[in-house]
Chain A
C-alpha cells in the first residue's frame, strides 16, 4: 500500500507542474482543465473516500503554495471535491467507475464543486451566483471532464498509476 502512495505522489508532482506551466496553454477563453482534480478522482475511486479526502487537502495545499494563491483556498475546495468523489467509491465497482462515462461524470461533479468553492472565496459581489455557477464552475467542469475522459480512454485499463 505504501508503495502505491509513493507512485501516486510521483505522479502528483509532475501533474502540479503541468497544471501550472503547460495546461494554461490549452485554455479556451480562460477555461482550463484541472489535472489535479482528474488525478484526485482517480485516486479516490481507487483508494477510498478517506484517503481521497486527505489527498485532496494535501494537493490543494501544495497547489496554493506553488501557485502563489492564498493558502487554504484550493485546499478547501479540493478536499470537498475529493470527498464528493469518494461517495462513488466501491471496492467491487472500481472497474465500472473507471469506465469512460462514469469516470467523466464523477470528474465533472468534482470539478464543478472544486471550481464553485474556489470561487466563493473571491469577492463575488460583482459577479453574481448565476455567473459563478455557469462561467466559473460549469464550463471549467465540462472541459475538465472531457480531458478526464480522454485520459482514461488513452490509458490501458487500470494502468494509470
Chain B
C-alpha cells in the first residue's frame, strides 16, 4: 500500500488553475497585510510578483504555501487547499530565509526530503547530481558555501517534482553570470510545463523572464499584465517623430497626448495609448520617422509605488 491516493478529474477542460486567489484578505490585528487580492494563474505561467517592502508579497506567498490562513477569501492551489497541495508535493518553494540544519550532511538533507515525500534513495541521488552537489554530498551543511546551500534548497524544492515552484528573491547574491545561468535553467524547466511565481527586486529579471508581472502595493494588486502592458499602463510610452514647424500647443491637442516637447524638428509626445498617437501623426500630419519607446520597468515600479499625493 502506498498510502492514500487522491485523484482529481482528468478532464482537461476542467483542469484547475495553478493558483486561484479569490478576494483574499489577511489581517494581523489592526494591520491589513493583504487587502482583497483576486488572481488566477494558469498552469505553465511564469509570474513575477513585484512590490515595495511590506506590500503583502510575503504574506501572499505564505498563504499559497499554507503557512498562513487568510482572514477572508479563498486560496486554491491546483484546485486544492494549500496545505494539501504542499503535502502532495504539487507546490514547493525556495524561500529567502530557507532554513537548513547545519549538522546534517548535504546527502542526508536531500534524503530526508525524499523520505518525507515518499521518494526513493535513487531519486534523492539523482536530485543531488542534477543540482551539481554530488561532489559535496558528504559535507556538513554548515561547512557549505552560500551558493552550495542555495543549490541544496533547490534540490529539496525540486525533489517532489512540483507543478508550481515559488521563489522568493531567488538570485539575491548571485553575480550576473550566475543569474543568467539560473534563469536559463528555470526557463528550460518551465518549458516542460512547470508554473513559476517569483518575487524579486531585480526588475530587469521580471522584465526579461516573466510572462506576466503582478504589482502589489498596500495589499492590493495595482497592475497585472505582461511587462510591456504594465510599463505602458504605469508610465505610458513616448512617440518620437520628425515634424518640422510644430508648436507645443498644437501637439497637446492631439488625442491621447498628456505631455509634448519640441526639440528643433523633432517632437516627443507622451501618453498612455501610443497606438492612437501614432495613428494620428501618420494620418493627419506630415510626421515621419516614428519611434515608440516605453520607459523601463523601474520607472513603472516607481510610478506604481509612489505615495498618493493625498
A pairs with B = no
